[in-house]
Amino acid sequence: MISAIYARFSSDLQSDRSITDQIELCKQFAARNGHTIGPIYSDHAKSGASIIGRDGLLKMLEDAKASRFGALIVEALDRVSRDQEDLAAIYKRLTFAGIKIIAVHEGVADQVQVGIRGLISSIYLTDLAHKVRRGMAGVVRDGRHAGGRAYGYRPIPGRPGELEIVEGEAEIVRRIFREYAGGAAPREIAFRLNAEGIAPPRGAYWAANTINGNHKRLCGMVQNELYAGRLVWNRVAMVKDPDTGKRISRPRPEAEWQRADAPHLRIVDDLMFQRAQARKQELRHAPHAIKRPAKRLLSGLLKCGVCGAGMSIKDRDHGRIRIVCTSMKEGGNCWNRTNYYLDRIESAVLAEFRSRLGDSTVMQSFFDDFNDAQAREYRSRSGNRLALEAKAAKAEADLERTIGLAARGILSEMEAVKLLPELREALRLALDELNSTAAPPVTIQCHPAAARAFRHALTSLSASCLQEASSGLNEAMHLVRGMVDSVVVSKIEGRDAYALDLNGALTALTGSKAISSGGSVVAEEGLEPPTPGL
């Protein structure tokens, strides 16, 4: 009998030697019992609590379906899975394929063994989690740290859980608390730290949320009680999603948190820490000085011409909104500090719409190009119907095969949910493409009445579109947003003007991206160029 071997170890702290030892043990068992060794599968540093991400196990199940071996040898059933549901499902599928699971120390697995071993493994995992949490609680009670690395501290080698203050980083922590308690905004603090080249806790740059954090989870530097000499543990519970196998965090009630004094880890005094918390509370409950504006013509479409980040509102100058690069505003990570008047950009874009789309020759050229492309595509599809039929058949077979894998449990529910919509869409597109070869395309023409109606719609793209209104965007503004994917904004050196690069359907239609917001388009008097054909 050809027998496969499967081995697994679960922790990065273990050695690959564990896999080697398991495989050697299984080989010796196979030799003693007259088995012919077939494929060998393994998963390194993979938990047995889930089958997700275990490529070796999934490949074994796929090969079992193809009857490439008659038995599976493992050191023990918990190498296959420690999850009751997964172990039972694997046993069920291998049994259906006529494959026995043989554990070196337990013999041939049956339903009773699988049920008992699955239950024991599940209890083991739960018990292990309780013991780990108990141990971590003891670490906190002893005044040691049970969490990840915090800025301003480093672990002491050879003394688990013990930290020492890094004075250089501690001074930065004190500075952040002083500036925040003194009224500085987190983004201002981050901007100055980046400008001075001070390394952040992680990543390349300081950001406002590094300092400010999240109030509900009490994360962020100004909310970290460790800086005031208090350890806080058990704020979140880590649970594993049964569909994805990923660990996610959930906030625990504050009554379940565990605190312990650690005066030797104090970086800021209690008075400074309380001043920071008082300002945090004040900002949470203070009314905003500027109401959030209604959605604008180009909301979410404007990009910085230097770094590609989005643009956000900075302030108002005599009632006119000024925008800046969001990356520069949040952390000073972009050198583009130019303030742009939003109404100048909007007026320039609207004027460009009227200029490009109001020209009847542009529209006629579009219709001509569209008709030519449709005719070429029809000729190409008509001469290649056999290839299209084969493509549709393959798409249908791929869909049926994936449904079968999901039904047999070889694909997880999460994988099936991801793949099936894509395969159904591929089949639909293939059938649509095949069916479209049955009739030639209809030639479209630019009817004079339709052209007049379109030019009339363009006249509504006026300055009135730019006014903020509680009703949101009007129809003309939706027309603009539907034809523009992004507008890249840059300052033209030496001129009081902006360079704007438009991307989207408008540029595909008219063949030009760059426009200038200078000159009469955004003159202070509000002059705009006339629309051709109006």
Residues 70 and 188 in one domain: no
Q: Do β-strands 498-503 and 514-516 pair in parallel, antiparallel, or remain unpaired?
A: antiparallel
Given a cut of 90, whether residue 98 has pLDDT beyond it is yes
Residues 169 and 51 in one domain: no
The last residue of one of the domains, among 222, 255, 285, is 285
Within-domain flag for 509: no
Beta bridge partners of 340: 323
Among 253-262, 300-309, 392-401, 473-482, which stretch is predicted with the lowest mean pLDDT? 473-482
Within-domain flag for 298: no
Residues 166 and 84 in one domain: no
Closest-CA residue to 128 (of 162, 77, 76, 78): 78
Bigger pLDDT: 413 vs 500 = 500
Within-domain flag for 267: yes
For residue 266, the model assigns a pLDDT of 92
| Residues contacting residue 396 through CB under 8 Å, at least 6 positions apart | 427
* pLDDT, tens digit, 9 for 90 and up, residues 392-418: 788 888 878 777 777 666 766 667 677
* pLDDT, tens digit, 9 for 90 and up, residues 146-166: 666 789 988 888 887 788 899
Residue 500 phi/psi, 5° resolution?
-120, 130
* High-pLDDT (> 70) share of the chain, %: 67
Among 186-195, 330-339, 355-364, which stretch is predicted with the lowest mean pLDDT? 355-364
Judged by DSSP in three states, 215 sits in: coil
Residues 81 and 201 in one domain: no
Residue 495 phi/psi, 5° resolution?
-135, 150
Domain ranges, residue 410: 371-438
Within-domain flag for 281: yes
What does the alpha-carbon distance between residue 485 and residue 357 come to, in Å, rounded to a whole number? 17
Q: Are the C-beta atoms of residues 69 and 4 closer than 8 Å to each other?
A: yes
Among 348-357, 427-436, 454-463, which stretch is predicted with the lowest mean pLDDT? 454-463
Residues 270 and 177 in one domain: yes
Beta bridge partners of 231: 260
Residues 88 and 179 in one domain: no
Given a cut of 90, whether residue 438 has pLDDT beyond it is no
- Average pLDDT of the residues in 88-110: 90
Structurally, how many domains does the chain consist of? 3
The last residue of one of the domains, among 285, 311, 339, is 285
What does the alpha-carbon distance between residue 458 and residue 473 come to, in Å, rounded to a whole number? 15
Beta bridge partners of 233: 258
CATH number of the domain within which 235 lies? 3.90.1750.20
The last residue of one of the domains, among 438, 455, 471, is 438
Residues 11 and 99 in one domain: yes
Residues 65 and 163 in one domain: no
CATH number of the domain within which 57 lies? 3.40.50.1390
Judged by DSSP in three states, 513 sits in: coil
Within-domain flag for 323: no
Torsion of CA 382, 388, 389, 390, to 10 degrees: 140
Residues 120 and 198 in one domain: no
Among 189-193, 202-206, 522-526, which stretch is predicted with the lowest mean pLDDT? 522-526
Among 17-31, 232-246, 396-410, which stretch is predicted with the lowest mean pLDDT? 232-246
For residue 11, the model assigns a pLDDT of 61
pTM: 0.43
**CA-angle at 336, arms to 331 and 337, nearest 5°:** 75
Within-domain flag for 499: no
Within-domain flag for 51: yes
Residues 63 and 21 in one domain: yes
Given a cut of 90, whether residue 262 has pLDDT beyond it is no
Residues 54 and 162 in one domain: no
What does the alpha-carbon distance between residue 480 and residue 357 come to, in Å, rounded to a whole number? 11
For residue 443, the model assigns a pLDDT of 64
* Helices first, then strands: H and E counts in the chain: 17, 18
Q: Are the C-beta atoms of residues 7 and 57 closer than 8 Å to each other?
A: no
Within-domain flag for 258: yes
Given a cut of 50, whether residue 468 has pLDDT beyond it is no
For residue 471, the model assigns a pLDDT of 45
Bigger pLDDT: 270 vs 407 = 270
What does the alpha-carbon distance between residue 84 and residue 351 come to, in Å, rounded to a whole number? 66
Residues 264 and 380 in one domain: no
For residue 518, the model assigns a pLDDT of 41
